[in-house]
Structure 1
Amino acid sequence: MSSVNDLLVWYTDIGMTVAIGDTPVDHTKTQPKTVSSARETSRKFTQPDPLPPTPAQPKAALNTTAIAAACNSIDELHQAILNFEGCDLKMTAANTVFCDGNPKAKVMVIGEAPGADEDRQGLPFVGISGQLLDKALASIGLTRSDNVYISNIIPWRPPGNRTPTPHEVALCEPFIKRHIELLAPEILILVGGVPTKSILNTNEGITKLRGRWYTYQSAKSAKPIKAMATYHPAYLLRSPGQKAAVWKDLMMVEDELHALGLR
């Protein structure tokens, strides 16, 4: 019953206080696909403006690229990150935060970096922001125990929950990109500006990037992966008026799950 109450609170927060149709619909069952022209247009795949050419990578970043590439399983990648001593953030963090959720999931959520709660527990998105993320994902039938997998660009908490520096992102980026290759999800949900800019290789802001589908594919990816950018739950706690925008993004994800036969 508590999960039902959580959903009702989420719906109320995003302004869903009235029925949106004349007849009830059981959304737990597959429905005939009747996507509106507006939504169909929004589902077209676009690519953001790429970043300009950058100088050669620092030696440490090249080192993480080689370390990540040598990992042939998620367990090997986890151990490699645990053994890595080349990031100063690890020196001040209590735990290495690697992942949570079902490793067979077809939906992968990627956040920015651990906060204080995540650092203490060693799991991503377990604080207040994580609770909000869980409610949002549950509203479209996604749960950690069943069909979603969660990780971060940065596996160690930046002191004071500050934004990771470009150097820290570049250093850890090969790890998360190899993580994506090994998990091989069908859909990526990028929450916040840092993971969105990193994975999509752009310097555009999250407000411009959210609400559209993109394609992501690395050199070792078996096939292109559909990626959706949306606001970070920590931002929603500061700006609750943006919950409706996230709801729209999640509705697009739910449509895609049906289109891919994952529902």
Structure 2
Amino acid sequence: MTSARDARRKEILKELGLTPVWRARTNNSSKSLLQALSPASAGQSNRGEPTCSAPVNAAEDRRFKILRMGWDELEASIAGCIACPLCQSRTRTVPGVGDRNADWLYVGEGPGAQEDATGEPFVGQAGKLLDNMLAAIDLKRGRNVFITNIVKCRPPGNREPAPYEAQQCEPYLARQIAMITPKLIIALGKVAAQNLLGTDASIGSLRGRLHQHSGIPVIVTYHPAYLLRTLTAKAKAWEDLCFARSTMQRLGTAE
């Protein structure tokens, strides 16, 4: 009796173009599950509408988890990260420092030797210059300001981070931005600007206008380390700071 009812049910489902979603586990169950979660099968419904799907590979799964972390879990994850070769030569990770509810977010390139030793971004001569730049527009490290970098480990020899290295650190920065919800992001230098804005344009072409990252205004200026080597650029950096201050004042008025 039961088998006859099951057979009739299957016939009705077949007529309606429906088949049972769940089947008994077989030796190929893992493969079947992966196929079921693939973008081709899970990304759209029968009507072509987007549907929710779980991460389908290790990179997506890692990003999925990072974007749901709180501060303590995030910093612990950064400290133990082995996602790229930078972990092999670091002394300490440098997650960032400052006010976690800051209106201002400053993003640099990556830690240098002193940052690698102390675990804090922008120390040494470049850090002192950044502190002076903040003071020039009535800001102070740790007070309504958060400072971090594109990558959280020092690239050997202070070289620029490789694209793959920046890619592995991107979920960490994305989560920091989501939790801080700054009103304005200041991109310090070419590497920060290009990664935040997804461009290979020069600093010169990006300065002096507002950009967007995740709906947040972005202003591009020179990295303090560059300013130490190129004194003639300091006047342009001052222009950028004035632009940033006036932009923040407008953002405050808009509220």
Shared fold (TM-score, shorter chain, > 0.5): yes
Normalising by structure 2, report the TM-score.
0.73
Per the alignment, residue 123 of structure 1 pairs with 120
Whether the aligned pair in 1 keeps the contact of 2:190 and 2:202 (CA below 8 Å) is yes
Where 2:252 maps in the other structure, the secondary structure is coil
State yes or no: 1:146 paired with 2:143. Answer: yes
Where 1:261 maps in the other structure, the secondary structure is helix
The answer for unaligned runs of 5 or more in structure 2 is 1-56
Aligned partner (choices 59, 62, 65) of residue 60 of structure 2 = 62
Measure how far apart 1:210 and its partner are: 1.7
Per the alignment, residue 212 of structure 2 pairs with 215
Aligned partner (choices 97, 102, 105) of residue 102 of structure 2 = 105
Measure how far apart 1:61 and its partner are: 4.5
Higher helix share: 2
Aligned partner letter, 1:200:
L
Deviations, residues 102-146 of structure 1 (Å, cap 9, x unaligned):
112110000010001101110000111111111011100111131
Aligned partner (choices 157, 160, 172) of residue 160 of structure 1 = 157
Whether the aligned pair in 2 keeps the contact of 1:60 and 1:86 (CA below 8 Å) is no
Per the alignment, residue 83 of structure 1 pairs with 80
How many equivalent residue pairs?
Answer: 197
Per the alignment, residue 184 of structure 1 pairs with 181
What do you get for the CA RMSD once the two structures are aligned?
1.5
Measure how far apart 1:60 and its partner are: 6.4
Measure how far apart 1:192 and its partner are: 0.7
Per the alignment, residue 244 of structure 1 pairs with 235
Where 1:156 maps in the other structure, the secondary structure is coil
Greater mean deviation of Cα atoms: 183-192 or 62-71: 62-71
Deviations, residues 183-241 of structure 1 (Å, cap 9, x unaligned):
10000000011111111111111221122111221xxxxxx211101110111111110
The structure with higher relative contact order (CA 8 Å, sep 6+) is 1
Percent identity for Structure 1 against Structure 2:
41
Aligned partner letter, 2:129:
L
| Cα 1:63/1:231, change in 2 over 3 Å | farther
Where 2:137 maps in the other structure, the secondary structure is coil
Where 1:151 maps in the other structure, the secondary structure is strand
4+ residue stretches of structure 1 with deviation over 6 A?
none
Instruction: Give distance in 2, aligned partners of 1:141 and 1:64.
Output: 39
